[in-house]
Amino acid sequence: MSDACITPARYNPIMKPAQTRARLGPYSGPGLFVTGTGTDVGKTIVMASLAAAFRRLHLRVGILKPIASGCPKMPHRGNDPSKVSHEDLLSPDVILAAGAAGLDPSDEVLMRYMSPLRYAVPAAPVVAARVEGRPIDWQRVETALDWWQENCEVLLVEGAGGWYVPIDEDDFMMGDLAAALRLPVVVVTFAGLGAINATLLTVHAIQERSLPVAGLVFNRVPGVEMRDLATETNLVEIPRLSGVPLRAALPDLGQDRITSAVPEDFVEAMMPFAQEWWSHAQRQNL
């Protein structure tokens, strides 16, 4: 595996704004940032599959989704809409990933570190925070990062939406968050018509921030007999054109939604990447 694919590059100082950059420093332990070419492309199932793979390597896996929107309310909590807090809401994405990592999603204290900012409105974080009257509290994210620094061997961070999703009123984007953490990025994409443009734009945007792209993961890939020409060729052309290695191609389960456990096939698909990446991370720390 090329060092350029998984070793954090020099931090690009163009990120904005300065006050947020100062608060969110680089994460010094091994970790990966999972982004996607858009909303609902499959970032969570990829992160959960990676978590299960790293767990199979007997590692303590940390899960962090700094900002989640579209979160349902916990039963018997948050009955007064004017007083809803982050703790009154649940992030289904974090629950799935936590279970795969062997963490207890019912532990509310632990959930603060896995999902520090939760909003009910299904919109970009800046919009959800504005509508709900609860501004983005970067202190909660900083606290979560500090906690994981001491309590895991590998941290998986999941973005919300795509790379250019705005988070706060200072136009701080999801890509700015990744750049602050300086973690290698895994790009989750699809294989159908339009995937070349969407994937290359995302990869180039990440590289503009001087961040390494650790790999591509295709999600919801149809079986061989169901693939059209675009899907069949994109599986080859996108890694070739981007120069980013393909790490896994996860199958399309049709109408089934993965909500409770990661399929064994998905974990097996991610194992080679998890093993190779962890071996490289260990060599880097020697």
The CA–CA distances, whole Å, from 173 to 125, 142, 166 equal 10, 16, 4
What is residue 18's predicted lDDT score, i.e. its pLDDT? 52
Tell me if residue 83 is catalytic.
no
In what helix (H) or strand (E) does residue 181 lie, and over which residues does it extend? helix 174-181
As a whole number, mean pLDDT of residues 150-167 equals: 97
Query: Has residue 223 got a pLDDT over 50?
Result: yes
Close Cβ partners of 219 (under 8 Å, ≥ 6 residues apart): 41, 42, 45, 46, 188, 189, 190, 250
Binned at pLDDT 50, 70 and 90, residue 10 comes out as very low
Mean pLDDT of 61-65: 98
Cβ-proximal residues to 266 (8 Å cutoff; 6+ apart), any chain: 45, 48, 49, 52, 250
Residue 173 has pLDDT above 60, yes or no: yes
Residue pLDDT, tens place only, 122-137: 999 999 999 999 999 9
Lowest-pLDDT choice from 46-60, 188-202, 243-257: 243-257
Instruction: Give the pTM.
Output: 0.91
Burial class (CB in 10 A: 0-12, 13-18, 19+), 116: buried
73-122 pLDDT, tens per residue?
A: 988 776 776 678 999 999 999 999 999 999 999 999 999 999 999 999 99
Pairwise CA distance, residues 88 & 35, whole Å: 26
**pLDDT single digits (tens) 249-285:** 999 986 556 667 899 999 999 999 999 999 999 888 7
> 9 versus 65: which is more confidently predicted?
65
| Residue 11: predicted pLDDT | 40
Length of the chain, please? 286
Question: Active site residue: 16, 65, 73, 83, which one?
Answer: 65
What pLDDT does 164 receive? 96
Q: ∠ CA 59-177-250 to the nearest 5 degrees?
A: 55
- What Rg do the C-alpha atoms of the chain give, in angstroms? 18
- List, in sequence order, every residue forming a beta bridge with 166; answer none if it has no partner: 173
Question: Would you state the pLDDT for residue 205?
Answer: 97
pLDDT for 15 beyond 70: no
Percent of the chain past pLDDT 90, that is, above it, reads: 82
Percentage with pLDDT > 70 across the chain: 89
CB 116 within 8 A of CB 66: yes
Over 60: is that where the pLDDT of 22 sits? no
Q: Which domains does the chain have, with CATH numbers?
A: 3-284 (3.40.50.300)
Mean per-residue pLDDT over the chain, rounded: 90
